[in-house]
Structure 1
Amino acid sequence: MLALSMTSIRTLHADVTMESATIPPMLDAPDTAVLAVNLGTPETPTAPAVRRYLAEFLSDRRVVSLPALLWQPLLRGLILPLRSSRSAAKYAQVWLPEGSPLMVHTRQLAQAMQALLPTLRVRHAMRYGEPALTTELDRLATEGVRRIVVLPLYPQYSTTTTASVEDRVDAWQRRNPQVTVSLVQDYSIDPDWVAAVAGSIQRYWQQQGRGQKLMFSFHGIPQRLADAGDPYPQRCEASARAIAAALGLGADDWQMGYQSRFGRERWLQPYAEPSLWELAETGVKQIDVVCPGFATDCLETLEEVAMGFTETLAERGAQMRYIPCLNAAPEHARALARLAVASLA
């Protein structure tokens, strides 16, 4: 695999000065908290840790809807034994000295939001793995918090992601009626978030020059879920259009695709990697790829896209350049802080 400069991933936003947050003023609210929730990550890049993580993730009925009596024997007897070691090797390629990229960036993002919202408590949690969502909710309640804004770090709503967080939060609140919980369901076209993503792309182009084509790569979901009414593909398309418009791009300057297909069934199309190959075959020799469905860089953006897509495209005579996620960039923290405050209004 091609070597990935983790330093470049982490420092793209370093030249962005923290401006006045311009967050709407808040009364002192020590009993109010914001809980930013990301997907999750193994604790270490080892097969046992990855196995524990995948077992929890792939046991969520929102992720895999097969009956448990059919799915669990297949999961534990075949999939986990086969995938755990392979996935651990991939995690090892992107692991930071401080830990998992997703965990490191999520923690830093929550800290940046806390600096912008000093009268509130800002914490982070994971839907799968640690720190567990319900554990963090319990901790906040024990500390005397009586109002919590749960902010899933999924810009585009899907039944496979946001709804899973919502399920867990709803179950927790039924056991804790003394706490009022609200949840931000979607921010796929939020103006501040769109401006943050567009700004990060523009800064990359200012530093590195602009490629011939921009690809928006989103995590895919099975097509049957979209057919059943999951609005995720429409939300992704809306995000891509809004970001492209903010950049002043024409219809021929960009396209979108879906990555991270799992299993053999049909997922949302077009698939991102074959679409990149087609661009290379038509003479497009430099393509920039950004993943606006991911709040923070993680295995799917770093190993699959930044490493894997880059390598297979190079084999076809074209250069792919990966534009990092927003991670803990100041403009990202500001956009999310504003969303949290707005949900308290």
Structure 2
Amino acid sequence: MSEPGPGWPGRPTRRLLGVVGLALLMLNAAALSGFLLRDRSAWLAPLMYLPLAPLGLAAAGLDLARRGGGVGRPRFLLTAVGLAALGCSCAEMIGRGPTVPAYASDGEPIRLLHWNVLWGGHPRTDATWTSIEDDIIRRAPDIVVLSEAPPDARIDSLRRRLGPEWTSTQWEHPPRSSYWYKLVALSRWPVREGRPVAIRNGAALDVRVERPDGPLRLLIVDGQSRPTQLRTPMLEAVAAACRRAAAEGEPYDALVGDFNAVARALGFDAIRSAAGGYEAASRSSAGWRGTWPMPLPLYDIDHVWIRADHPVLGCALFANMASDHRGQLVRFSASRSAGSREESTDGPGPGAGSR
């Protein structure tokens, strides 16, 4: 038998690469199972959060480098599985761009900006917060919703820079709570004081913005982030709140916040169909939709869901390295078809708390 040529991996290296290839095959199979089956149970839920794109790229790269022998036979099996994982990830995470032309809007579009600003950014200095303020102001929003908002003095600074007509409302965790949240809504139109909405495994705030062309009703949501916790109860509680609001004759126009749940989570199915339906605005973005964690945002856990009868005219995601989340600016029209304010055919569902 001839000796291996120069540069050819020795037997220990080949064995190690074989082990790595087998591990990648198993991880990709698990990630694809999570993608297809979603969070139907507590043990399936973690699989849905395995990073499909990096695992797929690593598998295909190793297999191609080994000329299709990443896991022995059949050849190029690892490449096929890796490309399948990468394809599923791209199909889910790449926005299709705006599907509604700008001229479809009746009146001036509403510009809603949402951002998890990491309690004021890291490091939490005046310069860091100023850079976050600059990013918000240059996008000229009409409404700003902040998750993990900073101390009140910095909220006041942002409001002053936005303009004298801007008002705000907020809600935060009680003292000594183990679950921290701070939700803030600011608008150039008058904002009523927000009302807490009880939901499971999270916090929510009902906010009404008094626009000259008609009120805008928002539900600002913060979902708990424990990895072992199913998101379904929280998302179904949000859907129930949407049904109640529609039954009252004033459905939520937008659901906004750091849900800590990817859009593929089963609980979002209930939101998509609740009270006439809602659409994830980031589907109308052009490019990668992930919002966390920076600088490699693999997961779309921050959301703006717009009521189905409000055309989404565009969504742009942006980043500042002071926060580990990307923000998004959504442009949508508040025009409605006749009768859309009437009670939804869904009817009121079982709730997780009232306004």
| Bigger RCO (CA 8 Å, 6+ sep) | 1
Larger radius of gyration: 2
Greater fraction of residues in helix: 1
Same fold? TM cut 0.5: no
Q: Structure 2 length normalisation: TM-score? A: 0.29
Q: Structure 1 length normalisation: TM-score? A: 0.30
Greater fraction of residues in strand: 2
